[in-house]
Structure 1
Amino acid sequence: MSTVPNTGSIDSGDRAALRRLLAALRQEGLIPAAPLVERTEHERIVDVFAAYLTNDRGLAASTVESHKLLSHRFLQEVCPGGADGFAELTPEIVIGYVERHALDGSADSGKAMCGVVRTFLRYLHLKGFFR
């Protein structure tokens, strides 16, 4: 009998299988419905941005997920108080963020991060977040 070694890490397929199992158990009434989780303002803004990227821009799901992650990180750091902080964003704040994080990963990931920040700021401007 062959066994697969336990590496201690969770594969993305494991999460999908677990979600399907939980959905089936809930549908049969064997376990209660999942509690509703209150989304933060940052998460709601990034969710709407992701919908825009998917529906209006036609980006692939993996690209949208990457944009969500990077946009959320950006918001948490430069606008910790939420959308009310958008009016206080200056080029210096954005440049400072980019300078601090451009070398967090590879040169390519730094370049991608800059592109996501630029795209996210353009989206915020397009949707009237900046007045």
Structure 2
Amino acid sequence: MTANAYFTLPKVLRRLHEGPLGDYVDLYAAQLLREGHCYQSGTRCIRIVGDFSQWLARKHFNINDVDESLVGQYLRFRTQYQRPFCSDRPALCRLLGLLRQIDAIAPQTIIPPKPLEQIEQDFEHYLLRERGLSQTTAIRHRPPLRKFLQECCREGTARFLRLSSEDIVRFIADHAHDHSPRTARSMCWTLRAFTRYLVYRGSIVDDLAAAVRCSQCAELAIRTTA
């Protein structure tokens, strides 16, 4: 199977096969067919691969240069003249996977997360595996936790032993009015879950979740500014 399964015009097919990725378009189309992509989905995926290949040629990149970083550069460029679709990045990530399967490009370079990013990831894994939360629910914890870690735990895990209820109450007081009362309640929910996680992993002894449940924090969380 080739790109002919999705396109028939010779001019379009010639364009799709230009650039550093031209030799791989038919393999990519065959994978889309195996995955069961409909005509609309398949043509959109192949078109963005073709456009990416044209961009690589204009920038004088070759197949050995292709990786996640280059995909990011291209997508940022693309948004300047086309409205992005949610399928754009997955389509190119699928391409990277295919190119790595046939050893056309180098394996992905794994960049270790920064200390605070690692804490976020470990907490999210705890919510998914130990608490049984859905991915969507777990993701909602990210923004308030990230802000809390940046303000109260910049040193990373070494700061956990020195965390106090005063730190948590102060953080809530500082940010209770940043957004809506619902967001403030969500922030308190995140902090309760995170402090319980710290007890679970043995990073702290006292259950600081009680500080988030105190009447002062509850009032701060639901009160709006005048």
Q: Give the TM-score band, short-chain normalised.
A: 0.7 to 0.9
Matched, 1:75 2:133: no
Percent of matched pairs sharing the same residue: 34
| TM-score between the two structures when normalised by the length of structure 2 | 0.50
Alignment partner of 2:195 out of 107, 121, 124: 121
- Aligned twin of 2:186: 112
TM, length-normalised to structure 1: 0.82
Match of 2:160 in 1: 86
List structure 1 runs of 4+ shifted beyond 3 angstroms: 10-13
Partner residue in 2 for 1:62: 136
C-alpha displacement of 1:11: 4.5
Return closer, same or farther for 1:21/1:80 CA change in 2, 3 Å cut-off: same
Q: Secondary structure at the match of 1:33?
A: coil
How far apart in 1 are the matches of 2:151 and 2:86? 28
Q: Which residue of 2 aligns with 1:13?
A: 87
Q: How does 1:10-49 map to 2 (within 5 A)?
A: 10-49=84-123
Structure 2 CA distance for aligned equivalents of residues 45 and 118 of structure 1 = 16
| Cα RMSD, aligned residues only | 2.0
Between 1 and 2, higher relative CO (CA 8 Å, sep ≥ 6) is seen in: 1
Cα-to-partner distance string for 1:25-53 (whole Å, 9 max, x where unaligned): 22222221221212122222222211111
Greater CA radius of gyration, 1 or 2? Answer: 2
Structure 1, unpaired ranges of 5+ = none
Alignment length (residue pairs): 125
Distance 1:12 1:65, change over 3 A: farther
